[in-house]
Amino acid sequence: MDRTTGKTGGAAGTWARARMAPPQHLAVPGGCVGRVRRAAWPWPWPFLTRSLLSSRLTMAKAASRALVLGTAGHIDHGKTTLVRALTGVDTDRLPEEKRRGITIELGFAAFELSPELRASIVDVPGHEGFVRTMVAGAGGIDIVILVVSAEDGVMPQTREHINVCRLLGIEHGVVALTKVDRLEGDAEAIELAAEDVRAALQGSVFEPAKIVPCSALTGEGMPELLAELRRLAAKVPRRDAQGAPI
């Protein structure tokens, strides 16, 4: 400050005038809202906007990878129960679904395979009357979890869902042979159920898919299923973020 005139000049004066300017609320890119003071010169918002957007794009590229998992299989073979065991989310949210005990609409749950790998799970209905809903949910799936009850084996919608996945071009999958707890440790019965699944997958893109006997209620086989999902996820090519939407 000039002691004789009382005026402030140079860079210090510019900052002083900015501090004396009335405050205003401002929303900046990134969702932050703050109180800033109106500067005495034009604030370089275009430059800051470009810098912030560039930083966000850089962070997005370096962020953890994401993909989509989806269930498939006959009604009442345990798809929703399996999703709940993996994620803690009950995807049957409608009162009608609760009352009838079946999935009617698509269900969704977030699922963290690892700190670097996040997934969304789409739980589809297995009833033959909702096959159109199943097709809508299966579009865009990277990895399918084909759920087959060890008690019942391969059923009509099991085969139908296999064909839907084939037509949609889904190439990665694992078979969850569920409800093995009901077989009370009968290894021969579990192997017979696995052979039934292998026969159904023969000649399809899922023929080499691993079959994991498991139980969503007791937790048996769940670590093996999770390990196979992680292995498959490492094989799925990363999607181009610049491409057209699915």
Catalytic residues: 76, 79-80, 127
221: alpha, beta or left? (left if phi > 0; alpha if psi -120 to 50):
left
> Within 13 Å of residue 202, how many CA atoms lie on the same side as its CB?
8
Task: For residue 5, give every residue at least 6 positions away whose Cβ sits within 8 Å of its Cβ, in sequence order, or none.
Answer: none
Going by the DSSP 8-state scheme, the letter that residue 243 receives in this structure is S
Name the DSSP letter for residue 184.
T
Alpha-carbon distance of 225 to 177, in angstroms, equals: 10
Could you give the 3-state DSSP secondary structure of residue 182?
A: helix
SS3 28: strand
Collect all residues with Cβ–Cβ distance below 8 Å to 144 and sequence separation of at least 6: 69, 70, 71, 72, 138, 165, 170, 172, 173, 174, 206
Please give the sequence-ordered ranges of beta strands (E in DSSP) within the chain, or none if there are none: 23-28, 32-37, 65-72, 107-114, 117-123, 143-149, 172-178, 211-213
DSSP structure class, residue 180:
G
